[in-house]
Amino acid sequence: MSYLNELFSNEGKVALVTGSGSGMGVAFAHALAKSGAKVICAARRVEHIEKVAAEIVAAGGEAVALALDIGDTESVHNVFEQAAEIYGGVDILVNNAGQIQFKPFPDVEDDEWNNLVNVNLTGTMRMSREFAKRRIAAGKTGSIVNVTSITGMQTLKNVPCYGSVKAALNQLTKQVAADLFGTGIRCNAIAPGYFMTEMVDWYFETEQGKAEVARLPSQRIGDVKELEGALLLLCSEASSFINGAVLPVDYGHNIMLA
């Protein structure tokens, strides 16, 4: 194994990826498997994660699919119990599951706001809390990687709920890192810019979406594979001295937002 491969290796580790049945989660699950990790694909749509797990196994990796609803505390507890039975525990947690909403602020309903908070913020808290409790009890280190967004770093129109929740998630990343000092558990985040996934592909076909792409520094939408380097950095020992960081992956989009 070359030095570079060794540095970014997750050989022998167990990685749990939420929302790994579609979009970024699929790319993350495959990337972690290629880096040597045993991957737990977790999401509500079981048929989707079973497909991803089967693809990983067919490619020579190791993976299982476990049903998970991060909006439900019992489901979160159960998925970690299952992970402990199958693999002995989880070394890497990737909090990728989330939802997005495009709507002007005056039109936002209470239940829409509450749902985004419960899934995107509280769900990540639930997963991270359960992970941290178990790692601390076992006297083991670990890595948490949250998937946030550049909308949590700057304002964009028509995503008031999503942007606010992602900003809170950026802060949660830092708070969790600070509270876990001394445990050997690190918490960092990736803040993607515009990437083509099934949640947003329709938007970039609209006139407003096309106008947004036209003003990007990159002049194009990102490919989810372009997130894999950042992910493997933060999951592996290559980032052993990185903690509480929020890493934008957006070709500089966040620095030119007005």
> Rounded CA gap, 42 and 16, in Å?
7
Contact 235, 189 (CB under 8 A): no
Q: Active site includes 162?
A: yes
- For residue 200, which amino acid is it? V
Which tokens in the block code for residue 234?
Answer: 């933060």
Q: How far lies 49's CA from each of 91, 125, 135, 172, 179, in Å? A: 20, 22, 25, 27, 32
Rg of the chain over CA atoms, in angstroms?
Answer: 18
> Rounded CA gap, 42 and 26, in Å?
10
* Catalytic one of 162, 194, 203, 251: 162
> Rounded CA gap, 220 and 196, in Å?
10
Q: Could you identify the residue written with the tokens 């960092």? A: 188
DSSP 8-state class, residue 226? G
Enumerate helices (H) and strands (E) in the chain, giving the number of each: 10, 7
DSSP 8-state class, residue 238? G
- For residue 36, which amino acid is it? G
| Active site residue ranges | 162
